[in-house]
Amino acid sequence: MTTRTFFVGGNHKCNGNKASIKALVSELNKVESKSNVEIIIAPPSIYLDYTQSLVDSGKIQLSAQNCYSETKGAFTGEIAAEMVKDLNINWVIIGHSERRSIFGESGELLAKKTKHAIDIGLKVIFCIGEQLADRQSSKTEAVLSAQLGDLKSLDKKQWDSIVIAYEPVWAIGTGVTATPDQAQDTHKYVRSWLKDNIDETVAAKTSIMYGGSVGAANCNALAEKPDVDGFLVGGASLIATDFSTIIKSASPKTI
């Protein structure tokens, strides 16, 4: 019997500086996690190299918050997946709701980014999630199906390099979170979508993280759910005590 890897990711977004990162990492380096639990933090790209120099690489991995779909060129302000790889960083977040809604990134672009990142050896945390209006009008599954459908062109082997992060947009940074049962129901749907549209083995093996106002107070109840395989944490990932509590709540599921 094996277990799906439980991922605890900290997305720092546009927050932090050298002093705060140093203080945070010094505390996180002390945290002991369970077997088959991966801890990943994503500082702003300008601090990736600095953070890499501080983390205990045996415990903590780094992720870029974004990357572009091209190797190089006249793309001011972008970073290439190859640049991320050049820093010996193995992860990138793609499709976060803020990239979709604020920066207007299309499903087509996100699929292109994902394929390119995997092709050059990165692993991808691929974010999906619905707006409040979608949830209220019972369109959650339709929205997630469309977002996941952007990845249908990937082959089954490429799915070995993908972790899904379900983040209800109405719960990101609002203090409102999906209930454990709401999270479980949606994660169960995502897994069924993978089974029906990609492959049964992919569905069983793929870890599905939950994001959306995850904190020290609700992480244990969420982590117990059978299809919740981790967390993508925003604000609480900047607070060492809270993020440490979330790491300790990890509960890898047997498959």
Distance CA 45, CA 65 (A): 7
Q: Map tokens 């599905």 to a residue.
A: 208
Within a 10 A sphere around the Cβ of 14, how many other Cβ atoms? 7
* Catalytically annotated residue among 96, 105, 116, 130: 96
Catalytic residue at 12? Answer: no
Residue 232 contacts residue 209 (beta carbons within 8 Å): yes
C-alpha–C-alpha distance, residues 232 and 160, integer Å: 19
**Strand, helix or coil at 163?**
strand
Cα dist. 92→44, 51, 246 in Å?
12, 15, 21
Answer yes or no: are the C-beta atoms of 127 and 107 closer than 8 Å. no
Residues with a catalytic annotation lie at: 96, 167
